[in-house]
A and B are shown apart, each in its own frame.
Chain A
Amino acid sequence: VNQQRQITTFFAKK
Chain B
Amino acid sequence: MLELRLVQGSLLKKVLEAIKDLVTDANFDCSATGFSLQAMDSSHVALVSLLLRSEGFEHYRCDRNISMGMNLNNMAKMLKCAGNDDIITLKADDGSDTVTFMFESPTQDKISDFEMKLMDVDSEHLGIPEAEYHAIVRMPSTEFARICKDLSSIGDTVVISVTKEGVKFSTSGDIGTANVVCRQNTTVDKPEDATIVEMNEPVSLTFALRYFNSFTKGTPLSNTVTISLSSELPVVVEYKIAEMGHLRFYLAPKIEE
Binding site for B on A (CB under 8 A): 1-14
Contact = CB atoms under 8 A, between A and B. Distances in A.
A4 B126 contact: no
Closest 10 A/B residue pairs (Cβ): A2-B254, A11-B126, A5-B252, A14-B125, A6-B44, A14-B127, A7-B47, A13-B124, A7-B252, A3-B257
Contacts, number: 59
Nearest to A10: B234
Contacts of B127: 11-14
A9 to B, nearest CB: 7
B129 interface: yes
Contacts of B46: 7
A8 to B, nearest CB: 6
B233 interface: yes
A4 B43 CA distance: 10
B256 A2 contact: yes
Contact of A7 (B40, B129, B255, B257): B40
B49 to A, nearest CB: 10
Interface string B236-257: 0000000000000011111111
Contact of B254 (A5, A10, A12): A5
Nearest to B252: A5
Contacts of B254: 2-5
Contacts of B175: none
A2 B257 CA distance: 6
Contact of B126 (A2, A3, A5, A8): A8
Contacts of A7: 40, 44-47, 126, 234, 250-252
B188 interface: no
B157 interface: yes
A7 B128 CA distance: 10
Given A7-B45, A14-B125, 9 more contacts: A1-B256, A1-B257, A2-B206, A3-B256, A7-B47, A8-B126, A10-B234, A11-B128, A11-B234
Nearest to A13: B124
Contacts of A9: 252
Contact of B252 (A1, A4, A12): A4
B77 to A, nearest CB: 27
B131 to A, nearest CB: 10
21 contacts: A1-B256, A2-B206, A3-B257, A5-B254, A6-B43, A6-B44, A6-B45, A7-B40, A7-B45, A7-B46, A7-B252, A8-B44, A10-B234, A10-B252, A11-B47, A11-B129, A11-B234, A12-B126, A12-B127, A13-B124, A14-B125
